[in-house]
Amino acid sequence: MTTHAAGLDPTSFEQDETLERALDLLTDRPLVVLGGAGMSTDSGIPDYRGPGRPERAPMTYQEFVATPQAQQRYWARSHLGWGRMRHAEANAGHRALAALDPELLITQNVDGLHEAAGSRRMIALHGRIADVVCLGCREVTSRAGLHDRLETANPGFADTHAAAAVRPDGDVELDDTTAFVVPGCETCGGALKPDVVFFGENVPKDRVERCYAAVDALGDGGGALLVVGSSLTVMSGFRFVRRAAKAGTPVVIVNRGTTRGDELATYKLDVGVAGFLGALAGVGADFSGFS
Ligand SMILES: [Zn+2]
């Protein structure tokens, strides 16, 4: 059964039957939580699949590795975006989820805000934007360090393009990037790539297997899968919902707008994630975050 609770008045939050049932279902059970971009919108990181966001075609892995010009274009845009994204802070939803401390938190976000809020038992499915990997020697270094090198190599660039619009993956709108200087790996001189999973690139297999194992364990332990702030557009996350549903494990989806998993959900709630997580974790004394 799928129950939609769209358009709820926040003041009726505690009375709403669907919410009550969903909270009852999730309370005192082993949980795996799958989180997406909707977790971070309150931190000022836009959800490019959310309402009102433009369609875009992100650079694929194949495009990135094909030419130095593509890497130049990527890093020039990303340099501007990350200069702002690095200052984003965890919000009430991140903190509630850290307090909830599920068996495993699988996040599709690369912003590092769950870690900042104190979540520990977690897997960053698509990697972390704060890490950089060398395509030559596979050494992983910090984005903060590269940011400083990019600043030094491109003086004044960030100020010149300060008005460009930032995107959720740290990318920005920017056309002319031919003058941007991209330093190579300090160890081997190889090309550097953010240590995140690009479109056209697979999530590392061991990472996927750890997630599947946690989802499978829910079936044995009377647990449930909770999806928060994801439209489940990308198969890398949706497959865990399918896996849980196939095993008969209850699935609750909390997201603004429809998701690809709605038909598989025991309950689907079209409400704000921060208020819901606050109520579930018992840290939501008021529902000011419920919007
Ligand atoms: Zn290297």
103: CATH: 3.40.50.1220
The count of domains in the chain is: 2
- pLDDT at position 55 is 53
Judge if 99 and 33 occupy the same domain. Answer: yes
State the distance from the centre of ligand 1 to the C-alpha of 248, rounded, in angstroms: 46
Do 166 and 189 share a domain, yes or no? yes
Report, as residue numbers or ranges, the catalytic residues.
126
Give the span between the Cα atoms of 243 and 235, in whole angstroms. Answer: 12
Boundary (domain end) residue, out of 196, 211, 242: 196
Residue pair 143/130 in contact by the 8 Å Cβ criterion: yes
* CA 143 / ligand 1 centre spacing (Å): 14
The predicted-structure confidence for 88-131, as pLDDT tens digits, reads as follows 999 999 999 999 999 999 999 999 999 999 999 999 999 999 99
Q: Which has the closest alpha carbon to 224: 258, 259, 266?
A: 266
Q: Residue 61 sits in which domain range? A: 53-87+129-196
Do 235 and 174 have their domain in common? no
Distance 132 CA to ligand 1 centre (A): 10
| 136 and 12 both lie in a single domain | no
One-letter amino acid for residue 127 of the chain: G
- pLDDT < 50 stretches in the chain: 1-8, 11, 14-15, 285-291
Residues 227 and 146 in one domain: no
- Centroid of ligand 1 to alpha carbon of 241 (angstroms): 37
CA–CA gap between residue 192 and residue 184 (Å, rounded): 6
Same domain for 9 and 118, yes or no, is yes
Only one residue has tokens 């990181």, namely 45
| In a shared domain, residues 94 and 83 | no
